[in-house]
Amino acid sequence: MIVGIPKEIKNNESRVGMTPAGVFELTKRNHSVFVQSTAGEGSGFFDKDYLEVGATVLETIEEVYSKSEMIVKVKEPIASEYLLIKENQIVFTYFHFASSEPLTLAMIKSKAICIAYETVEDNDGTLPLLTPMSEVAGRMAIQQGAKYLEKPIKGRGILLGGVPGVKPGKVLILGAGVVGVQAAKMAAGLGAHVTIMDINMKRLRYVNDVLPNHVTTAFSSEYSIRQLIKTHDLIVGGVLVKGGKAPKLITKDMLKEMRPGTVIVDVAVDQGGCFETTKATTHEDPTYIIDDVVHYCVANMPGAVPYTSTMALTNVTLPFVLNLANKGWEKACEEDKNLSKGLNIIKGEVVYKEINEAFNLKV
């Protein structure tokens, strides 16, 4: 198979779809790999590294798309890429279709095979290709939240860990999934007081068992969220609905209940966000303020730490890339039910029901 690795062109996105190690695994199996020039530089991989393992380096993104049977990316295609995607071309990347109708309609029109990292499932229902980026984003949510609590950036002026004689800051985490648990670990490590909420008691029991005593759990309800936001300094939204839109757990009117300078970080922004006032931002301009509440809603948080993120992502995507290249998408998905759950749009037909539900599509 001919595999293409284009350079990511989303704002401040420095990750790359494959490392030289992954390309080597493809080329030694006689697959051809086209890598766009400088695609890996942001993650610390250079054109010569790809050339040494048998890749062909092409200058333009148009060449990569036109020559490749399968495109392996990190982020969803943006508008300038829509027309580059060909009929029957496999596109293997994060798509998050439910948060973007234009992207969904463009991929339907392209008649490509769209396989989304975020809906590939393991036998136990976990999401192996989303997990590593959720781990990165969950940890980063605290790192970024702590920074934006500083007064020069209009935060409350709180040091999350406190100091002797001064109470630590308080962190509220919505969702006890991968993002929530990783955020809780980081916040607890800084010495903050942490409350993590969920409607799944099994997850809350797990958190209670594995995290330190200054991480407390609470069953999530609108009433309890409304009470807790009044006293917490940093609020992290990490709620996931597989392949669908995130629920709006914090509404605009709730912002007035928060203290001025409270920071809210929406890790669910890729899926539409779990705050009503969420709008996607970039690393270039990451925050905005509504009702004196600082919003951090960067849609590609792991892109700020591209070496860590690229390594973590490609560790888990490579076996699936090899499977697709070796067998073709139909046979690979027929034999691997976990991979088949990544199929979102096939040759113009939406095959993932949450996407149809998000937009009431009649396709």
Exactly one of 49, 198, 266, 270 is catalytic; which is it? 270
Is 210 in a helix, a strand, or coil? helix
Instruction: Answer for the pair 350, 110: CB distance below 8 angstroms, yes or no.
Output: no
Is 57 in a helix, a strand, or coil? strand
The pLDDT tens digits for 220-244 are 999 999 999 999 999 999 998 777 7
The pLDDT tens digits for 64-79 are 999 999 999 999 999 9
Spatial CA neighbour of 183 closest among 213, 231, 219, 146: 146
Please report which confidence band the pLDDT of residue 245 belongs to, taking 50, 70 and 90 as the band edges.
confident
The torsion angle over the Cα atoms of residues 358, 238, 301 and 66, rounded to 10 degrees, is -30
Residue 356 reports pLDDT greater than 90: no
Residue 363 reports pLDDT greater than 60: no
Please report which confidence band the pLDDT of residue 350 belongs to, taking 50, 70 and 90 as the band edges.
very high
| Catalytic annotation present for 96 | yes
Give me the pLDDT at residue 4, please: 98
Give me the pLDDT at residue 282, please: 93
Helix axes 131-148, 178-190, angle to 10 degrees: 40
Q: How much of the chain exceeds pLDDT 90, in percent?
A: 91
The rounded distance, in Å, linking the Cα atoms of 282 and 14 is 13
- Residue 289 CB: number of other CB atoms within 10 A? 13
The pLDDT tens digits for 94-111 are 999 988 999 999 999 999
The rounded distance, in Å, linking the Cα atoms of 112 and 103 is 12
The pLDDT tens digits for 284-339 are 999 999 999 999 999 989 999 999 999 999 999 999 999 999 999 999 999 999 99
Give me the pLDDT at residue 362, please: 62
The rounded distance, in Å, linking the Cα atoms of 125 and 47 is 38
Give me the pLDDT at residue 112, please: 98
Give me the pLDDT at residue 98, please: 86
DSSP letter string over 271-315? GT-SBTT---B-SSS-EEEETTEEEE-BTTGGGGSHHHHHHHHHH
Give me the pLDDT at residue 241, please: 79
The torsion angle over the Cα atoms of residues 195, 196, 200 and 206, rounded to 10 degrees, is -90
Give me the pLDDT at residue 225, please: 97
Instruction: Answer for the pair 122, 338: CB distance below 8 angstroms, yes or no.
Output: yes
Residue 118 reports pLDDT greater than 60: yes
| Catalytic annotation present for 270 | yes
Please report which confidence band the pLDDT of residue 30 belongs to, taking 50, 70 and 90 as the band edges.
very high
Residue 32 reports pLDDT greater than 70: yes
User: Does the CA dihedral 93-98-99-104 come out positive or negative?
Assistant: positive
Q: What's 14's DSSP letter? A: -
Average pLDDT (166-195) is 97
Please report which confidence band the pLDDT of residue 59 belongs to, taking 50, 70 and 90 as the band edges.
very high
Exactly one of 31, 96, 232, 295 is catalytic; which is it? 96
Q: What is the mean pLDDT of the chain?
A: 95
The pLDDT tens digits for 269-280 are 988 899 999 999
Instruction: Answer for the pair 234, 146: CB distance below 8 angstroms, yes or no.
Output: yes
